[in-house]
Structure 1
Amino acid sequence: MKIGMISTEFPPAIGGMQVMAFNLAQGLSRRHDLVVYTRRNQGVPAAGLAIEPVLAADIRHDLRPLAAADVDVWLAMNAGYGALAGRLPKPMAVVCNGNDFLTPWVIDYPRQIDFLEGKPHVWRYAHPLRQAWRRRLLRRGLSRAAAVLPISEHSRDLAVRRFGLDGDRTVILHPGVEDRFFQTRTPAAAGSLRLLTVSRLDIHNRRKNVDGVLRAVAELRRGMDIRYTVVGDGNDRPRLEALAGELGIADAVRFTGKLDEAELLAAYREADLFVLAGQASETDVEGFGIVYIEAIAGGVPVLCSRSGGAVDAVRDGETGILIERSDATSIAEGIRRFQAARSGFDPARISAHAEKFRWSAAIDRVDAVLASVLRGGVPRGAAVPVEMPAGAARRADSVGMT
């Protein structure tokens, strides 16, 4: 099978979409003839893979080089490229993450819309019109896609509601976890509660809500011995460090910056609780969050909010704590709840939950979907012969889409 992977988000760039694309590309390339079509001028691409750095992250430009490619089937790792389904000569399966279909960024729009920016009374309509145009093209493309692969139940429900997708062409594809994150961990003795967050600290990525955790630590510190480590870097780090100082908790918070592999694994081993309580909006969501399953693989319980796809990875009271809201008070209450039940979280049991999220399972699923596409194109109304998770099937029933 000749697979063309369309992935503008790819190493050496950093992020969850890049991690997912790279691991799927590696696994599928061991079984099939795979070429990754990725961005131009983004640096040295991942070694060991066939790479075509020809994309401009603009489907108007990218249609031409993709249409000329010698492939049997397409795998689009950014939902925006689903707008090309039916316009390319070969069938396409489309991965839907979250923001890539809520606010698509690779779909062009009529430039006449830009003229509204300088017009009084109507300038405010320019951005909504751009997004409406992009969603219209994406809806048309996804209706022609042979299969749609949301990365969580949350992403699936959003995509079904927004684009009216057929449940029988939709297969949940959870991101995986690399083997190196499966570690032996011994629960810490009673004492300081060690919290950990791993995240990019970017001003455009504030849904990660490190602010909320800092404020929760400030609230808890009055009656609890607590230490908080933030792993990651970005242009929002100075503001967050300043906030820790303003809250009077600078001595309890450590910003490490980016860590190498050994240091990152050590940070997970030393943590008592991984905390990342994202704040979702209608246009900015956490589709899944690979870091959650990385922590769980190492036996570290996770605290997260119900606002995104992390609920697919976290079982409340077993592998972590789920909170309804992501404000500082709710985070603090979740941490108190964990502390009270701390001895009941067994690292071995938590780690065992991550077994089904190994990348091998995700690669098997994509392989099966692409094989189905080639056998018959998975026409509208035909079922993809890949078992849907029970939770996803129940959710699909609840919205009347299966």
Structure 2
Amino acid sequence: MYLVVTRSFPPELGGMQSLMWGLSKELSKNYLIKVFADYQDGHKEFDENVNFSIERVGGIKFLRKIRKAQLIDEVSKENQIQGIIADHWKSLELLKNNKKKFCLIHGKEINHPLGSRLNKRVLKVLNNVDKVVANSNYTKNLAIEIGVNEEKIIVINPGIDQIKDLDKKSLEKVESLLKIKTPRLITVSRFDKRKNHEKVIMALRNLKQIYPDIVYICIGYGDEEENIKKLVKELNLESQVMFFKDISDNLKNALIARSNIFVMPSIKHKTSVEGFGIAYVEAAQYGIPSLGGKDGGAADAIEHDRTGLICDGNNLDDIYTSLNLMIENKKYIEFGKNAKDVAAKFSWNKIIEEYKKII
């Protein structure tokens, strides 16, 4: 039996939740597994419909962490456990058993100054596990820089589920909403500084002069939402920017599929950085190329000048030039075809084989 220990799991939504759900689901096809996850509202209905055991742990954060570690140690004593797979170094920090351990790393959560208290805690965990699984080459290099033993690190990109057929009604709604608007740019992400919506909108002001029917679709929510909407108003771009949140997956997927370029030129903000960027790959499945930022792990998801472009997200001119390069002569069509082909290598049935080699 393998134990999966996670702080992020459905029915809660998010990239980490999707990653740990996909990994658990694929592992359960080959191994007996048990998942230890945090309590979530509505979890009972979700848990009843999966084919593996899920144990939920509630309470305030610190006590929950202690209780979860105690439960895992108890299960480890009473069962033949082949290994423990964790989503975060903190999920392993309090364990007191000698089972094989594997820790996933993503970027932001290990990015602490050398010699700091948090850095020492990170290293105490990661240098004592059997394997550290980095989500990108960027994250691997970051781990080495902060003191993780290079020999322990392996890069395994996050997997994605095969896309479902697009919903006809949602496609019709998208065409009704967008009408003749083209080219179509889209971002699906939280509204935060790292995702860099502001500079995309500033580039849009200049692109509007060349492409008067251009539209930028923003799907998401977050702390920067009001600031971004204020900027759109200040730049008189209300007719060019469309905001969506709390929409169905069917409508979200239809909006992506009917766009031309997925835009997320992420930047490093304080210690926060884009470790990989699964959203680029999700767009690629629909034949949509991406513009990503050079800060972080986007280069693992986007093949520069083949499935999209990598630019300097801190440089407004670079964002503008890169977008214009993809739009003029409809270069995005060629990139999109390539992106769809490359996306296949991120399917879970391929990614899980990489995990099976190490556990």
Deviations 1:95-135 (A, max 9, x none): 011112225xxxxxxxxxxxxxxxxxxxxxxxx89x92222
Rate the CA distance shift 1:69–1:206 in 2: closer, same or farther, 3 A. farther
SS in 1 for 2:341: helix
Q: Residues of 1 paired with 2:29 and 2:241: CA distance?
A: 43
Name 1:93's counterpart in structure 2: 102
Deviations 1:207-229 (A, max 9, x none): 01111111111122122231100
CA shift for structure 1 position 243: 1.8
Q: Residues of 2 paired with 1:263 and 1:27: CA distance?
A: 27
Name 1:375's counterpart in structure 2: none
Q: Residues of 1 paired with 2:295 and 2:149: CA distance?
A: 22
Name 2:177's counterpart in structure 1: none
The answer to whether 1:291 aligns with 2:279 is yes
Report if the CA contact (8 A) 1:181-1:265 is conserved.
no
Question: Counterpart of 2:98 in structure 1: which amino acid?
Answer: P
Which of 218, 224, 236 in structure 1 is aligned with 2:205? 218
The answer to whether 1:171 aligns with 2:161 is no
Q: Residues of 1 paired with 2:322 and 2:97: CA distance?
A: 48
Percent identity of paired positions between Structure 1 and Structure 2: 23
Which of 67, 71, 75 in structure 1 is aligned with 2:73? 67
Q: CA RMSD in A?
A: 2.5
SS in 2 for 1:180: coil
Q: Residues of 1 paired with 2:98 and 2:165: CA distance?
A: 42
Which of 106, 111, 116 in structure 2 is aligned with 1:102? 111
Which of 137, 144, 149 in structure 1 is aligned with 2:128? 144
Question: Counterpart of 2:11 in structure 1: which amino acid?
Answer: P
Please, what TM-score do these two structures have when normalized by structure 1? 0.77
Name 1:196's counterpart in structure 2: 186
Question: Counterpart of 2:87 in structure 1: which amino acid?
Answer: M
Report if the CA contact (8 A) 1:98-1:286 is conserved.
yes
Name 1:83's counterpart in structure 2: 93
Deviations 1:269-302 (A, max 9, x none): 1111110011114611111111000111111010
SS in 1 for 2:210: coil
Report if the CA contact (8 A) 1:84-1:141 is conserved.
no
Name 1:54's counterpart in structure 2: 57
Which of 341, 347, 360 in structure 1 is aligned with 2:349? 360
Name 1:124's counterpart in structure 2: none
Name 1:263's counterpart in structure 2: 251
Q: Residues of 2 paired with 1:165 and 1:29: CA distance?
A: 30
Name 1:229's counterpart in structure 2: 217
Rate the CA distance shift 1:94–1:182 in 2: closer, same or farther, 3 A. farther
Give the number of equivalent residue pairs. Answer: 334
Q: Residues of 1 paired with 2:99 and 2:148: CA distance?
A: 23
Q: Residues of 1 paired with 2:120 and 2:164: CA distance?
A: 40
Report if the CA contact (8 A) 1:38-1:53 is conserved.
yes
Question: Counterpart of 1:179 in structure 2: which amino acid?
Answer: Q
Report if the CA contact (8 A) 1:82-1:142 is conserved.
no
Name 1:22's counterpart in structure 2: 21
CA shift for structure 1 position 312: 0.6
Q: Residues of 2 paired with 1:60 and 1:352: CA distance?
A: 45
Which of 242, 246, 261 in structure 1 is aligned with 2:234? 246
Name 1:393's counterpart in structure 2: none
Deviations 1:193-217 (A, max 9, x none): 110000122xxx3201111111111
SS in 1 for 2:154: coil
Q: Residues of 2 paired with 1:350 and 1:41: CA distance?
A: 36
Q: Residues of 1 paired with 2:164 and 2:346: CA distance?
A: 12
Q: Residues of 1 paired with 2:225 and 2:39: CA distance?
A: 29
Name 1:334's counterpart in structure 2: 322
Q: Residues of 2 paired with 1:135 and 1:262: CA distance?
A: 42
Name 2:174's counterpart in structure 1: none
Which consecutive unaligned segments of at least 5 residues does structure 2 have?
A: 172-179
CA shift for structure 1 position 338: 1.1
Rate the CA distance shift 1:230–1:270 in 2: closer, same or farther, 3 A. same
Q: Residues of 1 paired with 2:165 and 2:273: CA distance?
A: 27
Rate the CA distance shift 1:7–1:177 in 2: closer, same or farther, 3 A. same
Report if the CA contact (8 A) 2:196-2:313 is conserved.
no
SS in 2 for 1:148: strand
* 1:117-156 → structure 2 map (5 Å cutoff): 132-156=116-140
SS in 2 for 1:144: coil
Deviations 1:245-270 (A, max 9, x none): 11110111000113212112211111
Report if the CA contact (8 A) 1:83-1:139 is conserved.
no
